[in-house]
Amino acid sequence: MVTIETKQHPAWDVYKATCPTRQVLDCIADKWAVLVIGLLNGGTRRFGEMRKSIEGVSQKMLTQTLRSLERDGIVSRRVYASVPPKVEYTLTPLGQSLAGIVESLRVWSESNIEVVLASQQTYDARPEAE
Amino acid sequence: MVTIETKQHPAWDVYKATCPTRQVLDCIADKWAVLVIGLLNGGTRRFGEMRKSIEGVSQKMLTQTLRSLERDGIVSRRVYASVPPKVEYTLTPLGQSLAGIVESLRVWSESNIEVVLASQQTYDARPEAE
DNA sequence: TTATATAGGTACCCAATGGTGACCATTGAG
DNA sequence: CTCAATGGTCACCATTGGGTACCTATATAA
């Protein structure tokens, strides 16, 4: 039996410290990124819209998150040369392929929050908890 | 037509700043948490094992991540009163329900890294990039 | 003419986070 | 007697995250 290795990717392994996948995971396994991608999964959004929708994001963090996602090819940014400025963000096809996963993360959180909250209470009530 | 609202959860919405789901997302949408959950999906692991498997985690961060996941009921911790100590970590059923999602995040990273790297190169090569 | 709101971005500053290394407890082995 | 082993904590420091104030340019209102 012959193992056919048709241009197998060079054994990417996110558990290796220097693997570039680690950086990508770092970027998408992020609170704000998850919320941003989830939002954009509903369609193109303007910056200000997103700022309002995602309660608690500062302008800076939103910008930063979007830049990072843009760099990774997950969202695309479209600037209209108007005054005041108008900037639209959209998921790229790559981003769309990620959106489902990220959305299921969000859904999991919303579905299992009761269990989690109960567990937290039990944990915090342990005698050795301060 | 009657809308039957059989104890519908009180409209959890992770986009609200104060929604408890936000904290949960904060905890699981985390680089180290994803790696930890992925590892434990392969079965029970000892602390030292995980420390070696996940390159680059400091002892402190691993402890912290595991505590946080334990508090949320995602992993369980078992201490053996031996010398030297032996501590095992396992995914709870709740954790197992999350593992699939988290694993697909990791798989996505490893599958799409080439596209992402290419996108990063294009982005960094823009004239306006410093 | 001047003031103001707009919408997105950035420079600067501070607080929180994460990493490092020392230290601890306990016991069997050398 | 000393050291290795294992998981954990603590104090310290560098790095980062995150907030605030400011900037831009124009259309509109006063």
Rounded Cα distance between A13 and A8, Å, is: 13
Contact A58/B at CB under 8 A? no
Residue numbers of A between 3 and 22 with CB closer than 8 Å to B: 9, 12-18, 20-22
Rounded Cα distance between A70 and A54, Å, is: 18
Length of chain A: 130
Rounded Cα distance between A2 and B113, Å, is: 27
Q: Which CATH number fits domain B20-124: 3.50.40.10, 2.40.50.140, 1.10.10.10, 3.40.50.720?
A: 1.10.10.10
Q: Write out chain A's pLDDT in tens, 130 residues.
A: 666 656 556 689 999 998 999 999 999 999 999 999 999 999 999 999 999 999 999 999 999 999 999 999 999 999 998 888 999 999 999 999 999 999 999 999 999 999 999 999 999 988 665 4
Write the pLDDT tens digit of every residue in B11-42: 899 999 889 999 999 899 999 999 999 999 99
Domain coordinates of chain B in residue numbers? 20-124
